[in-house]
Each structure stands twice: as structure tokens, then as C-alpha cells.
A and B are shown apart, each in its own frame.
Chain A
Amino acid sequence: MTDLTKLTLTEARDGLAKKTFTSTELTDAFIAAIDRANPAINACVMTTPEHARAQAKESDKRIAAGEAGLLEGLPLGNKDLFCTKGIRTTACSKILGNFIPQYESTVGQNLWNAGAVMLGKLNNDEFAMGSSNETSAFGNVVSPWRRNGKDGKPTTDKLVPGGSSGGSSAAVAADLCLAATATDTGGSIRQPAALTGTVGIKPTYGRCSRWGIVAFASSLDQAGPITKTVRDAALMLKVMASHDSKDTTSVDAPVPDYEAALSKGIKGLRIGVPKEYRVEGMSKEIEKLWDDGIAWLKAAGATIHDISLPHTKYALPAYYIVAPAEASSNLARYDGMRYGLRVPGDNLTDTYEKTRAEGFGKEVRRRILIGTYVLSAGYYDAYYLKAQKVRTLIKRDFDNAWANVDVVLTPTTPSPAFAFGEKTGDPLAMYLEDIFTVTVNMAGLPGMSVPAGLSSQGTPLGLQLIGKPFDEETLFRAAQAIEDAAGRFKAPGNWWMKG
């Protein structure tokens, strides 16, 4: 039998439908793959094989009975930011300790209701704060990709899988699950997807319910999938998205059949190319990637238009005010009183201080401090209020652009995957990873990263598509055109597999 783990989500779906294999066989293949790969990759912070096998068994019964859901019997990974009923959820932070939720996130429930199988919980940057998965309490996630040295030969440098959804991107890239859930506050789906040759979409703010997802920055957080192909992402998002009365920021609008949109092509689609994303010092290979993308879309029938998004340069600094501000408040509930870690102190204040100092990692503490500072009396107007104004201007930039274009095309990241430690000493360099992705969150728009080529080091690069609010369908169409032209990118070999 072929290696079932190499299948895409939709291929596996079709295989199950044709009864080429069973969900139990598929699930067992992934459980075995995780066992062999996780020591090297560290994508899973908890595996749930018994749970997965039980779900697979039920799925096989439903498939036999002709009652298959949209994701029936398909094994997925679930980012540890999604609360899972009866299964430890930590957001990869020490402060949640062995927290076991009594509830399932709405997005998770949508997946299980559609028949999906959960293989385990995936690693991420602590509280989704990071761009390299180096801030997790469970340690770094290692990308299955390796870069070439100056001599053109592969090195053994351990590369980051991007962040914060590094466990999701690495697991999908290393064939440890068919697809994975992820979340994106400033690029945490798209950047890891770009760095691992996978597809990631952050839908419009309000498309997916945030209920049951550990909050980072409420006005920016959105769930979305990381997958092997554009088609897989279309299927995943169809199931993940829903209106939820428990999240008043979720939007009551019908969820279209994204997969059906893929075949529509992009003839006449107007593609905007914003000049402000041509940042100073941009590498030749990123410029070439972008030009390739433009050429492919044009060849597929789209028209290309130069546009201006004049407030782009303010997006990153404004983001690093809004996101930490909200985080500083969202993370106040981790106080050692009701659940998670408590480090006893001499008195209440001492207990708070010890608990939070030990429970939160360095990057989380840094962001809480930034957020606390920008909300403080006397600074609020200069920072938070101004950042919100910038946000309005960024939104307006896009609103103006939509008069002339349907989709905006940019690179996803300014550079390819880097090795561990290369940016940890310089938070600003790390924050610059998000330079092309944060505008999308600030404006609440859908954004998608599609693999589009390899860097000179032989590592993946992604192109970003930005769409109008709730127009994910058009993003999928454009993404399909890029995928058709660029092909798929798989990490060579299988060095991460033991035994």
C-alpha cells in the first residue's frame, strides 16, 4: 500500500469514499508517523492515539452506513490554543499547567461534528506570541526543511517552522497529519505556512468563532487551517467557519462551498500590487518570487494593477501596540487563583508575582509589559488611541483599493526560514517577520499564503493573497492559479523519521 500519510486531505477523503482504505488504517498510519517523527520535529505536545482510534472507528461505521460528514475519518492536528474537552490544553505555557477544559472550542466541535479525527495537540509559540515557535514551554518545533550551505549542499542547521502555528506547519509539512488547525493574530498562520511550503488561510475576522480558543489579542485573533494544498484549505475552512451566538464578534453570513469555487478560474480578476510592500533591502529572490506570482496570475487571465496602500509602514508599530495591549488584559486571568499554575507567596501580591513570573515565558512577559505600558494613564492617547487611528487608516487604504482590484498580491514574508537562535536575541528583527502579514489582521481582512518557490537556500517561500471582507472564495481561486503554476513543495528526504 502507498504511504497514506503522503496523501492530501482531499485525496484521503476521496480514498475513504472509494473505500480504498479505512479511517482506522489512515489514523494508524499517522499515529505511527508521529511516533517516529515527533522526537525530531516536536510538533505534537500531546498525542491522543486512543481518542483518535475511537473516532476513526466511529467514522468507519458512518462511512459504511453512508453517513459520512465532510471530514469523515480524516486525521487532523489541533493547535494547543484550541480548548479540547477532557484533553489538556496549555497554549504551550507553563502557567496553564495541566489545565483540562470542560469544553470544546466551537471550531474544534465543527471539525469533530464533520467526522474529523484528532491525532493530538500541536505545539505553538507560548500564547501564540512569536514567529519561530521558539517561545513554547514545550520547546522548539523543528522544520522538516533543511537549507543548503554556500556550497549548495544541505546543512543540518535546525530551521524554524515559523510561528506561532509552528507545530501546525511542521506537522503538515512532515506528513504527520492531513491538515491542522491554526490561529493568526499578526501572521501566525501565513508566515509558518510560507516557511514550510504549506498553504495557510486566515479568514475574515468574524468568519470563525473565537469561542474556546485561548485568546491572545481579541480584535485580531482568527482561526484558520494549515494544509498541503489550496483545495485542502478550502475544505477545512468550509467546516471550521460558522456563526456562533457565543462569540458576538462572529458574523452571521452563509459559508460558501469554497472547494466549488476553485474551478472557476481567474479570468478578468483584478490583481493589485501595492508598491509599499517593496520595502527597502528586499532580497532579489523575494522580488523574483513576487514577479513570478504576477506573471502566473496574468497568464491565467487576471489583470495586474499597481496600487498604493499608503499607511502600510505604520501597520507593524501599531500592531505591536494593539496586540500587546489586548494581550496584557486577556492574560490577566492567569493569576494562579482558579486553575493552572500557582506558586505560593507570602501574601496575595507575592503569590501573583511569583506565579506570573514563573508561569509566563520571557516573550509573553515582554508583551504584557508593553501592553500594560501603552494602556497606562498618560500614555493611552499617545499609543493605544493613536494605534487604533492607524488601524482605521489601514482599513481605509484597503477600502479604496477595492474600488479597483479584487485581490492584493504580496510576498508573505521578507525572508525564508532561519535557524534557531538567529533572531531570538533581537525582538525587533523577529517582529519584522510579520511586516507583510499584520496589515491584514489590522484591517480584519482574509489573507492566504500559498507556496510559490524556493529560496537560494532551497527552502520554501510563499506569496500572500489579500481579499475583500468575506470574499475568501476569490482568494481560493487566485491561490489555486498560483498552485497550478508553481506546483507543490515538499521537504526533501525524511531525515526526521526514526527507525
Chain B
Amino acid sequence: MASANTSASATSSNLIPGATGDWELVIGLEVHAQVASNSKLFSGSSTQFGAEPNSHVSLVDAAMPGMLPVINKECVAQAIRTGLGLKAQINNRSIFDRKNYFYPDLPQGYQISQYKHPVVGEGEVEIDADGETMRVGIERLHLEQDAGKSLHDQHPDYSYVDLNRSGVALMEIVSKPDMRSSKQAQAYVTKLRTILRYLGTCDGDMEKGNLRADVNVSVRKPGGPLGTRCEIKNVNSIRFIGQAIEVEARRQIDIIEDGGTIDQETRLFDAAKGETRSMRSKEEAHDYRYFPDPDLLPLELTQAFVDDLKAHLPELPDEKRARFVKDFGLSVYDANVLVAERERADYFETVLGLVKDGKQNGKLAANWVINELLGRLNKEGQDIADSKITPQQIAGIVNLIASNAISGKIAKDLFEIVWTEGGDPAEIVDKRGMKQVTDTGAIEKAVDDIIAANPEKVEQAKAKPSMLGWFVGQVMKSTGGKANPAAVNDILKSKLGI
């Protein structure tokens, strides 16, 4: 496994100034990602979100006497796919343990989780943050059950429990403490989310709580020994992860600089107040009495099963980006924008498949997807998945540009029409006479007219060739923008003798 030491040193830019000098942040994350699966980790109940409370609860989920867990193979496959996507070691033998504690939303009185022998071992994630590309090490990934949900707002005296989520499969993905700034932590979660969504192993929906993070934060003098860490539980947006780290780091620095010490504890982030609060101290920490679940045999995987999953793994963002750069001549920046969401990349590739000479026109197609389409969607607060403009329409516009049928400027007008009215771009161009004039005779006539009407400008242009732009503008104006700009340029240059 490649080491993640590229991240271990802090650049001066991400040090935090304090009264006693600079401080370095050390961050590690435990991300809980809900496995995308139809049924729960150990029962056949549906995992569908938003159902009536307690409508997706089997006898096993409710921990009825004598009920036994049976592992859901698809959840295991999803965990392995994720492990492969994180370039991690797959452990062909792993063990489910019981984590014992009492709470009403935990019907068994224990959570089935992998403790000492997780299904996935060390791996890594490549991220871009603070102006550099770095690797964040993955410590492990294990499978576990989610708990149910306590509802405290349904009755004046009682709390209610909804067990729909009880037993749903989660992947806990534990990073190494490799991050040195909130930006890096955010970039890590963003990238992790992208990878999970590419793999289809977690929908990454943070609003529904399907992806949430426990953030471990400590501070130290640059290069010094590690400080005592605090764990901020259940942070459920990438923005909050950044904020929580910033305020927690500041809190710890202030305490240390005032002569205090950090207590190892679990804290909660209050986004409204912009602060973290103590939840429980180390002394109050549960003794979970982990031991191997005797109802479940060790999870044994055949290499063939793992190999088959590996062979059917989709292309992941890093590889896709490399291919976009290499095959279509895209800039790394543009490629990054496109691969950040699988839907974007897929959209782009669909467009490219419909564009004539797609390989040569990759850059053009990328520009249109990124600058026009994504730009517009962003402005309207929409997602590419909601785009009413189809890849066929974008490809139609790109084809018209590539074949010199329309100019870039006309193309923007065309996009506007397609956006507001819909329709086939080629038909619109035909019907509305938007086709570019490439007939040199017609262009020559327009050029001659402009030259004849503006003798003094002609003189000026001879002295100052950049005046050409003014002439181009005039010709385009007189042709209603339909003249082929390249042809206009050529003819003007020869007629003006510049």
C-alpha cells in the first residue's frame, strides 16, 4: 500500500496562528455511509427511505426472542466494491462482533459490527486541496448495523422509536489522521462521496443522513507530538465539517494557550451557535464488551468472488479524469469538473458519443457542458440530473459549431432558444435562418461595402492591424452575425492588405 506520508507535513498556509506561535491541525475522519441495498444487513426488510414508522421491521429487526441474523450478500459485495474503489486490501476472512449497549433504538441490546477483523483493510484516497494533490490513508472499512431512530417530539411524556432504519447496513470508513486543514477534510469527504457514488455503493445523500462523519480533531506544534483528540460526532454536511473543525481547533488552541489541557471526549457540533459542546467524557465512555457474534460464522470470501467484483467495477473518477485528459485533450481542470459527479461525466460522454469526430471535438464539447450547461444549471440552482436540455441537444449545438454551420456567438443564442423553448438545434437553425454565411461572395460584398464606407478607418487599420477587430464587428453586424468569422477575417486581411 502506498504510504500517505505526502500529507503528513503541513504547509505554512494551513497552520493556525496562535498567541504562542503557529499550530498544526491533525484530523482523522470516520465516515458512516449507508450501503445502497434493497434490504437490510441481516434481514429481508426494505431499506426504503421515508416509509411510515415501523413499517419496514422484521422479526429480526425487532429482536424478537429466538431470531437470528442472516448476512445479506449484496451488502458484503457493496463493501468489497467500496474497498476496491479505495484501492484497499480486501480481507477474505472477517468477523462480526457484538457491540453491547442499551438504548431503546437498539432492539438487540447490541449492534452487530466488525471490530477486530474488518472486511476491508488499508487503502487510500487521492485529493486536491490547499493547491496540492495529496493522499489520505484509509485505515479500514467495516460493515455494521444502523440503529433505529428515537422520536422525542411525538408525545408530552414519552419518546417513540422508529425501527425502519434498525439493521440497515452501514460502512464505517476510517481514515488515517492524515489531514492538516479543514479544506483537506472537506476535500476528502467530497472525494470519498464521489467515489461511493461512482461505485453505486452509497447514494451519498447527506441530507437524509446516508453519509455522515465523526471528526477527530487535535492540535499540536508543527512536527511536535500528537495532541489529545476530541471526536465530534455525526456531522452531516461538508460545510459543517469545515466549520466544526475550525471552531474546535480554535477552542483547543485557546485552552492550551491559557495553560489548560484538552480532555479526550466526544463532542457535538451546534451549527446554529457555531460551537462544539461536550457530549460525554472518556470516563463516561461505554464499555461495549465487544465479542464475536456467536450467531454468525466468520465471513469467508473466495478470491473468485472478489475478483469478479473487481472485474465489474466501474471506471472511477481518477481514471476517468486521466482518460479525459489523454484521449480528448481536456485540461486537468475541466476534466476534474466533469468527473466530480458521475452524472456529469456520463452526460459529457453521452454528448461526445453523439458529436461527429468526438475525439477531436472533445474540448469543444467539454466547454459547452461545463461553461454553458453547468454554468446555466448552477445559476438556476439545478442539478445535471434535472437538466431539461438533453445530451442530444448539446451534441446538436456542438455539431453545428464544429461544422462551421454556426458561429460561437450564434451558438449562444441557439442555446438560449433551446433552453427556453426546447427543440432540435439543427431544425431551429434551419427554420430561423441562423446558419452562418460561408459563401465568400456574400462576405466579400459586405466587406467591400464596409471598406468603401469607411476610408479613414482603412488608413488607421493599415497603421494599426489590431483595428481589424472593428471591421470584423461591422461585417458581422451587417450580416446579422451569420458570417463565418474565419472567412470574414481572411477576406478582410487580404482586402485591407494587413
Q: List residues of A whose CB falls within 8 A of some B CB.
A: 83, 89, 91, 96, 99, 101-103, 105, 210-215, 217-219, 245-249, 325-326, 328-329, 331-333, 335, 337-339, 348, 352, 372, 375-377, 380, 384
Chain B min CB distance to A375 (Å):
4
Say yes or no for B71: interface residue by CB 8 A criterion: yes
Chain B min CB distance to A117 (Å):
22
Please indicate the chain B residues that have their CB under 8 angstroms from the CB of A377 in the complex.
287, 289
Quick one: which of B65, B289, B291 contacts A333, CB cutoff 8 A?
A: B65
Cross-chain contact A384 with B66 (CB below 8 angstroms):
no
Cross-chain contact A218 with B294 (CB below 8 angstroms):
yes
Say yes or no for B247: interface residue by CB 8 A criterion: no
Nearest neighbor of B69 in chain A, beta-carbon distance: A248
Q: In the bound complex, how far is the Cα of B102 from the Cα of A212, in angstroms?
A: 23
Please indicate the chain B residues that have their CB under 8 angstroms from the CB of A328 in the complex.
100, 289
Nearest neighbor of A337 in chain B, beta-carbon distance: B104
Say yes or no for B354: interface residue by CB 8 A criterion: no
Please indicate the chain A residues that have their CB under 8 angstroms from the CB of B68 in the complex.
210-211, 246-249
Cross-chain contact B109 with A376 (CB below 8 angstroms):
no
Interface centre among B68, B71, B287, B297 (most CB of A within 10 A): B68
Please indicate the chain A residues that have their CB under 8 angstroms from the CB of B71 in the complex.
248
0 or 1 for each of B279-309: is its CB under 8 Å from A? (1 = yes):
0000000010111011111000000000000
Q: In the bound complex, how far is the Cα of B296 from the Cα of A329, in angstroms?
A: 14
Please indicate the chain A residues that have their CB under 8 angstroms from the CB of B109 in the complex.
329, 331-333, 335
Cross-chain contact B296 with A333 (CB below 8 angstroms):
no
Cross-chain contact A213 with B102 (CB below 8 angstroms):
no
Chain B min CB distance to A204 (Å):
15
Q: In the bound complex, how far is the Cα of B66 from the Cα of A102, in angstroms?
A: 12
**Given A329-B98, A338-B63, 15 extra CB contacts under 8 A:** A83-B65, A103-B59, A103-B64, A211-B68, A213-B66, A247-B68, A249-B295, A249-B297, A329-B100, A331-B109, A333-B65, A338-B62, A376-B287, A377-B287, A380-B290
Nearest neighbor of A220 in chain B, beta-carbon distance: B294
Cross-chain contact B65 with A329 (CB below 8 angstroms):
no
Given A332-B109, A337-B107, A375-B100: A248 in contact with B70 (beta carbons within 8 A): yes
A-B contact count (CB 8 A): 95
Interface centre among B59, B69, B290, B293 (most CB of A within 10 A): B59
Given A372-B289, A376-B287: A211 in contact with B295 (beta carbons within 8 A): no
0 or 1 for each of B64-83: is its CB under 8 Å from A? (1 = yes):
11111111000000000000
Say yes or no for B328: interface residue by CB 8 A criterion: no
Given A96-B65, A337-B161: A329 in contact with B70 (beta carbons within 8 A): no
Say yes or no for B108: interface residue by CB 8 A criterion: yes
7 inter-chain pairs at a CB distance below 8 angstroms, sorted by A residue, are A83-B65, A99-B65, A101-B64, A329-B110, A332-B109, A348-B104, A376-B289
Cross-chain contact B66 with A105 (CB below 8 angstroms):
yes
Quick one: which of A89, A102, A218, A219 contacts B59, CB cutoff 8 A?
A: A102
Please indicate the chain A residues that have their CB under 8 angstroms from the CB of B104 in the complex.
335, 337, 348
Q: In the bound complex, how far is the Cα of B118 from the Cα of A207, in angstroms?
A: 29
Q: In the bound complex, how far is the Cα of B108 from the Cα of A328, in angstroms?
A: 12
Please indicate the chain A residues that have their CB under 8 angstroms from the CB of B65 in the complex.
83, 89, 91, 96, 99, 101, 214-215, 333
Q: In the bound complex, how far is the Cα of B294 from the Cα of A377, in angstroms?
A: 19
Interface centre among B108, B294, B296 (most CB of A within 10 A): B294
Task: Give the top 3 A-B pairs by smallest Cβ distance, nearest first.
Answer: A332-B109, A218-B294, A375-B289
Cross-chain contact B294 with A333 (CB below 8 angstroms):
no
Nearest neighbor of B108 in chain A, beta-carbon distance: A333
Nearest neighbor of A102 in chain B, beta-carbon distance: B59
Q: In the bound complex, how far is the Cα of B65 from the Cα of A103, in angstroms?
A: 10
Cross-chain contact A332 with B291 (CB below 8 angstroms):
no
Chain A min CB distance to B128 (Å):
41
0 or 1 for each of B138-182: is its CB under 8 Å from A? (1 = yes):
000000000000000000000001000000000000000000000
Please indicate the chain A residues that have their CB under 8 angstroms from the CB of B296 in the complex.
248-249
Q: In the bound complex, how far is the Cα of B59 from the Cα of A146, in angstroms?
A: 44
Please indicate the chain A residues that have their CB under 8 angstroms from the CB of B294 in the complex.
217-219, 326
Cross-chain contact A245 with B70 (CB below 8 angstroms):
yes
Q: In the bound complex, how far is the Cα of B100 from the Cα of A331, in angstroms?
A: 11
Given A99-B65, A333-B108, A339-B64: A248 in contact with B100 (beta carbons within 8 A): no
Q: In the bound complex, how far is the Cα of B229 from the Cα of A5, in angstroms?
A: 72
Cross-chain contact B70 with A246 (CB below 8 angstroms):
yes
Interface centre among A245, A248, A329, A339 (most CB of B within 10 A): A329
Cross-chain contact B107 with A338 (CB below 8 angstroms):
yes
